[in-house]
Amino acid sequence: MALRIAVTAEPVPSHVSALDYVIGPALDQGHDVALYAPPMFRREARRRGVGFHRAGTDWTCDPAVQRVASGIWRQSGNASFNRHVFGRLWPERAEAKARDLIAAWTRARPDLVVSECSDLGGHLAAAVLRLPVWAADNGLGPVLLDLWDTDVAPALTSLHKRYGQDAPVLPPMVTPAPVHWFYGTPPPSARAVGRTVAAFRTAGPGLDGLPSSRPLVYVSLGTLTTAMPGLRGVVGDVYREVMAALSATGCDAIVSAGALARELPSTDPRIAVVEHVPQPALLRRVDLFVTHGGRASLLDAVQGATPVLGLGVLADQPGNTAAFARHGLGLALEPTARRAELADAVTALLGDPRHTAAMAAADAELSRLPPVDLAELLARA
């Protein structure tokens, strides 16, 4: 039986891609899928062949919001940044998102809501309308759980009371990887499911002309940090140190830096700087991935069996890269690491086949997970 599936996302550039493990199987299973999200994702919905309904605003693009958040990160560190963003900013904007969703779902009631785990307005709207709901882990699940009792739930309590709801709780969660990879203490409701990637993201990049005798390294520090004016300088310095380290090691490299690419001229012909690449496809062709450690990027690396050098910058990223290092899937350094330390780490990773073998084993473990079954989620909600 075809179900009406409502998927919600919050305004962070990579977040719809992080939900492809729900969207793809829902379409494959013949369900009617609609994305309820801020305007920035209209094109992403069209590319995936799903309906789009505007819900919420592109508030993360507000320069004032970015300036304050990045200032907190630079002055007080990632823990303070997380408390500000997830314990204050996200709860403050939950009501506006909830209002949009309540209005939309009152007009056209979905059978099942799959709301990304950080979409607090989506959770509230589903509760108000008594809709079955699951939270889709977008990588922020561990951060939210760590802050839930101390920061998130207290900030949401008065809002939930205004809407006649009990104390806020996270819905049961689906996560696109073995739970123990990222959760020290797994949430009891977490359900691990297989990961899929949208077909258009797997088109192979042109690598013609690159020598095959030297190791090929791919570098990307994500989309969010390069879009935040207060962090662009910091991330630009990290890119420069990484490029200098790679030049010293004699590797070939592709550096994907988004809008920062124009500010990172390469003086080494072995290092190509570009704005964007089809990352999942490229990671099947390279020998090492230097990454900020976003959840989707790390899982792309697993599916390409490519070891990682993690430079976690903010939010969940430091915890993600530390977890991968513990599992033998690469190494993790601070983003303040200098070129000599980076070069040593690159050399160690390229010279040790155990990391590649560990990645291949992780890919096999990931591939054994079944795709999410939307009808089953509805039955279990």
Inter-residue long-range contacts of 89-93, CB under 8 Å, 24+ positions, other chains counted: 89/59, 89/65, 90/10, 90/118, 90/120, 90/152, 91/120, 91/152, 91/155, 91/156, 91/159, 92/155, 93/56, 93/57, 93/59, 93/121
Does residue 206 surpass a pLDDT of 70? Answer: no
Angstrom distances, CA of residue 93 to CA of 23, 154, 178, 334: 25, 15, 31, 31
As a whole number of angstroms, the distance between CA 330 and CA 317 comes to 14
**Distance between CA 377 and CA 172 in Å, rounded?**
10
Q: How far apart are CA 327 and CA 304, in angstroms?
A: 17
With 0-12 / 13-18 / 19 or more C-beta atoms within 10 angstroms meaning exposed / middle / buried, residue 63 is exposed
Percent of the chain with pLDDT over 90: 78
Specify the pLDDT at position 38.
96
Mean pLDDT value across residues 11-29: 93
Residue with tokens 């599936």, as numbered in its chain: 5
Which stretch of 216-220, 275-279, 372-376 has the lowest confidence by average pLDDT? Answer: 275-279
**Average pLDDT of span 230-254:** 91
Give the chain's domains with CATH numbers.
4-197+369-380 (3.40.50.2000), 203-350 (3.40.50.2000)
Instruction: Give me the pLDDT at residue 223, please.
Output: 77
In terms of DSSP H, where are the helices of 129-198?
141-147, 153-162
Question: Residues 21-37, buried b or exposed e (16+ Cβ, 10 A)?
Answer: bbbbbbbebebebbbbb
Average pLDDT over residues 60-69: 90
Residue 210 has pLDDT above 90, yes or no: no
pLDDT at 250: 84
Kindly indicate the confidence band of residue 188, based on its pLDDT and cuts at 50, 70 and 90.
confident
pLDDT at 107: 96
Confidence band of 6 (pLDDT split at 50, 70, 90): very high
Return the pLDDT at 248: 93
Contact 381, 130 (CB under 8 A): no
Task: Please tell me the distance from the alpha carbon of residue 159 to that of residue 193, in angstroms, as a whole number.
Answer: 32
Q: Read off the pLDDT of each residue in 279-307 and give the average, rounded to a whole number.
A: 93
State both tokens at 158: 């008065």
91, 168 Cβ separation under 8 angstroms = no
Q: What tens digit of pLDDT does each residue of 104-143 get?
A: 999 999 999 999 999 999 999 999 999 999 999 999 999 9
Distance CA 63, CA 228 (A): 8
pLDDT level of residue 186 (50, 70, 90 thresholds): confident
Binned at pLDDT 50, 70 and 90, residue 3 comes out as very high
Higher pLDDT, 352 or 231: 352
Q: Is 136 helix (H, G, I), strand (E, B) or coil?
A: strand
- 83: CB partners within 8 A, 6+ apart: 147, 151
Taking residues 2-21, what's their average pLDDT?
93
What would the 3-class secondary structure string for 27-43 be? Answer: HHCCCEEEEEECHHHHH
Using one digit for the tens of pLDDT, what is the confidence trace for 68-79? 999 999 999 999
pLDDT of residue 189: 83
The mean per-residue pLDDT over the stretch 14-26 comes to 93
Provide mean pLDDT across the span 47-71. Answer: 93
Nearest to 291 by CA among 225, 231, 230, 215: 225
CA angle 201, 20, 34 (to 5 degrees): 115
* pLDDT at residue number 184: 83
Q: List residues bridging with 255 in a β-sheet.
A: 219, 273
Q: Is the pLDDT of residue 226 over 80?
A: no
Least confident of 158-167, 187-196, 369-378: 187-196
pLDDT tens for residues 22-44? 999 999 999 999 999 999 999 99
pLDDT at 232: 82
When the pLDDT of each residue in the chain is averaged and rounded to a whole number, the result is 92
Residue-level length of the chain: 381
> Is the distance from CB of 106 to CB of 53 less than 8 angstroms?
no
Q: Name the most confidently modeled range: 65-69, 114-118, 204-208.
A: 114-118
Sheet holding 216-220, edge to edge: 271-274, 252-256, 216-220, 288-291, 308-310, 330-332
CA angle 281, 284, 289 (to 5 degrees): 100
User: What is the predicted pLDDT for the residue at 207?
Assistant: 54
Residue 281 clears pLDDT 70, i.e. is over it: yes
- The answer on pLDDT for 93 being more than 60 is yes
SS3 of the chain: helix, strand, coil, percent, to 5: 50, 15, 35
